[in-house]
Amino acid sequence: MIKIGIIGQGFIGKMHLATLRQSKLATVTAVADREPSNLEGKVVAGNIDVSGDISLEGVARYEEGDALLRDPNVEAVLIALPTYMHKEYILKAAEKGKHILCEKPLTLTSAEGREVLEALNGYDRVFMSAQCIRFWPVYVEARNYIRSGVYGKLLSAQFTRQSCKPTWSWQNWLLDGAKSGGALLDLHIHDVDYVNYLFGMPDQVEAIGCIVPREDVSQVNAYYRYANGPVVAVDGGWMHPADFPFRMGFRMEFEQATLEFDSRIDANLHVYPAGGGHLTPDLLPGDGYSREHEYFLRSIMEGNKAEEASPESALASVALVERERAAIRTVATA
């Protein structure tokens, strides 16, 4: 069992705690949060549901991430802090020789990401970016069709991710574009990262978006072209009222099938082969969080690099978001 500590017990930190408490590969030995009320195992609001309150019996609790990093009973650390703190805490965790799983996005800017990668060059512990969509069963299934070519080439793909406005974060950091990077870097990056992970950097990027003062880009429609790959459209945003239900999904047109996933309808992948019919293949068990944890923990146990979500590839996704932002600003100011 790997002894893991979680820094940040806000919305996603609680999700990680609830999920890791079910893991057969890890034991949560410590948690840290600046808000004492977040150290009671109570669920914190967000745009997706986290199951009921979680017992913290036997878990060391700290009111500061640095104190957790000094705890010798922590071998691996999960950083679930606001994005503008990622760089600082990745570097601090590395100084203490911990295995590191850091929430997405890797860092607030690609310049910060490059600094981190330079500082951790040759680091002999596992360092992974928590780009959970790469591990989400329905997205893994679609990836398998793309890679196997079972339905021919992928010609076109559309991705969507829409949320109500995130008014729940600590000190409202999410709605401060200078701290979160706005919806572009916080929400939309999930799909940007998935596309970048599958196909790499697009040859051409176009984007239009809605910029809200102080909040940065809050809605985006981006279009990617690959010389030898699909045309891709990705939309994302968080300008909706509080009761707007979270939605993620995609549609993919292959030479010999169309695939569809819409989280508002169900958790299935719907496959419509060209020859007729409608299939809903069995998906891997668990969700993106439990599967990314398992991958991280197995990488530690087996002494492997976490290649499926390397910091290098996560950095490329931050850079791709920055290309979109530049395109949006060019249009917005033209």
Hey, is 106 helix, strand or coil?
A: coil
3-state secondary structure of 300: helix
Nearer to ligand NAD, 67 or 208 (CB): 67
Is there a contact between 191 and 220 (Cβ–Cβ < 8 Å)?
no
User: Are the CB atoms for 3 and 33 separated by under 8 Å?
Assistant: no
Among 50, 74, 130, 316, binds ligand NAD (CB under 6 A): 130
Q: Is 315 in the site for ligand NAD (CB under 6 A)?
A: no
Per CB under 6 A, the segment of 38-46, 193-201, 245-253, 278-286 that binds ligand NAD is: 38-46
Build a one-symbol-per-residue string for 96-115: x at contacts with ligand NAD by CB under 6 A, - elsewhere: -------xx-----------
Find, among 288, 281, 329, 325, the residue nearest to 309 by Cα: 288
Strand 231-240 vs strand 247-254: parallel, antiparallel, or unpaired? Answer: unpaired
| Count of CB atoms situated within 10 Å of the CB of 1 | 12
Instruction: Please identify, using beta-carbon distances, which residue of 64 and 312 lies nearer to ligand NAD.
Output: 64
Q: Which of 6, 18, 44, 94 binds ligand NAD (CB under 6 A)?
A: 44
Sign of CA dihedral 56, 94, 177, 236: negative
18 counts as binding ligand NAD under rule CB under 6 A: no
Torsion of CA 94, 109, 129, 65, to 10 degrees: 50
- Residue 35 is a binding residue for ligand NAD (CB under 6 A): yes
Please, which residues have CB within 8 angstroms of residue 35's CB and are 6 or more apart in sequence? Answer: 9, 170
Helix axes 189-199, 311-333, angle to 10 degrees: 120
Residue 169, interface with ligand NAD (CB under 6 A)?
A: yes
Does position 177 interact with ligand NAD (CB under 6 A)? The reply is: no
From residue 185, alpha-carbon distances to 81, 112, 145, 192, 229 in Å are: 15, 14, 28, 9, 24
Q: According to the binding rule CB under 6 A, does residue 186 interact with ligand NAD?
A: yes
For position 247 contacting ligand NAD by CB under 6 A, the verdict is: no
The footprint of ligand NAD on residues 48-87 (CB under 6 A) is: 64-65, 80-83
Count residues contacting ligand NAD (CB under 6 A)? 27
Contact status: 216 vs ligand NAD (CB under 6 A): no
**Candidates 31-39, 149-157, 268-276, 303-311 — which segment interacts with ligand NAD by CB under 6 A?**
31-39
Tokens of 131: 């780009």
> What's phi and psi for 23, nearest 5 deg?
-75, 140
Closer residue to ligand NAD, CB minimum distance, 61 or 114:
61
β-bridge partners, 28 = 4
The minimum distance between CB 30 and ligand NAD, in angstroms, equals 11
Question: Which of 3, 23, 25, 34 touches ligand NAD by CB under 6 A?
Answer: 34
Choice between 36 and 285, CB closer to ligand NAD = 36
Q: Determine, following the binding rule CB under 6 A, whether residue 32 of this chain makes contact with ligand NAD.
A: yes
Distance CA 125, CA 144 (A): 29
Is 197 or 254 the residue whose CB approaches ligand NAD more closely? 197
Q: Which residues in 74-94 are b (16+ Cβ under 10 Å) and which e?
A: bbbbbbbbbbbbbbbbbebbb
| Shortest distance in whole angstroms from residue 35 CB to ligand NAD | 4
* Binding positions for ligand NAD, rule: CB under 6 A: 7-13, 32-35, 38, 44, 46, 64-65, 80-83, 103-104, 130, 132, 169-170, 186
